[in-house]
Amino acid sequence: MLYGVSVGPGDPELMTLKAVRILQACTVIAVPRSGSENTLVAFEIARQAVPEIENKRIMELSLPMTRDKQLLEEAREQAAKTLMDLLDAGEEIACLTLGDASIYSTYMYLHNRIVKAGYPAEIIAGVPSFCAAAALRGKQLTEAALPLHIVPGSYDCVEESLSWPGPKILMKSGKQLGRVKALLKEKGLLDQAYLVQECGMEHEKACPLNQAEDAGYFSIVFVEDKI
């Protein structure tokens, strides 16, 4: 069996009991490697909750952070093949993923290929980063009939999303922070935006967006609704 194990946003205490049990039981721990400095963050989170995974077989999967479609396709195919070979050998595999596997997760590209090929796979849910960041702020995300929008902040769709009713969560905004701030200012929303970086991690930071000069990869922008 392949398990896509969600390890949450950063705090190992936010890992679920089920995730811990699966990690303890699996024989192989698969870890996506992007080539960036943040490449093994999921493993470090999981290791703090389940120290014994250090003694298991660790399989790194090369999955570069790029928008080159051909490179992405080749990397995902190779990673999926590696996992299928391990399944053919009878291994129980836990493939680690940050936050929750169903939200902008690289793991799902592998999961879908493997399921399509006829192999068994299961997703282990986790705490999404924006839920942990909302708790850090002591804020609710939405209420009653108010819709909540989750938007990839580094893509063009962010501009259109700012006109939608309800609060917005802009994920993966780090490299595009300047553009995001400019768009929010243009829409009169900058003073309603808040930035949380590395929630649950060692260098956790939170501040109004208009006070932030830059942001890293693990950054979330909250845009509160005008009510």
Instruction: Report, as ranges of residue numbers, the positions in the chain whose pLDDT lies below 70.
Output: 35-39, 226-227
CA distance 86 to 74: 19
CA distance 121 to 76: 16
Backbone angles phi, psi at 88, to 5 degrees: -60, -30
Give residue limits of the domains in the chain: 2-124, 129-223
CA distance 4 to 26: 12
Residue type, 45: I
Count of residues for the chain?
Answer: 227
Q: Is 152 helix (H, G, I), strand (E, B) or coil?
A: strand
CA distance 142 to 114: 36
Query: What dotted CATH number matches 2-124?
Result: 3.40.1010.10
CA distance 7 to 9: 7
Q: Which residues contact 176 (CB under 8 A, 6 or more apart)?
A: 153, 154, 158
Neighbours of 104 (CB within 10 A): 15
- 129-223 folds as 3.30.950
Q: DSSP state, 18? A: H
Residue 56, classified by CB atoms within 10 Å of its CB into exposed (0-12), middle (13-18) or buried (19+), is middle
Q: Is 138 helix (H, G, I), strand (E, B) or coil?
A: coil
Whether 46 contacts 15, CB under 8 Å: yes
CA distance 109 to 80: 9
Q: Which residues contact 39 (CB under 8 A, 6 or more apart)?
A: 32, 33
Are 2-124 and 129-223 the same fold in CATH? no
Q: DSSP state, 129? A: H
What is the pLDDT at residue 227?
A: 44
What is the pLDDT at residue 225?
A: 77
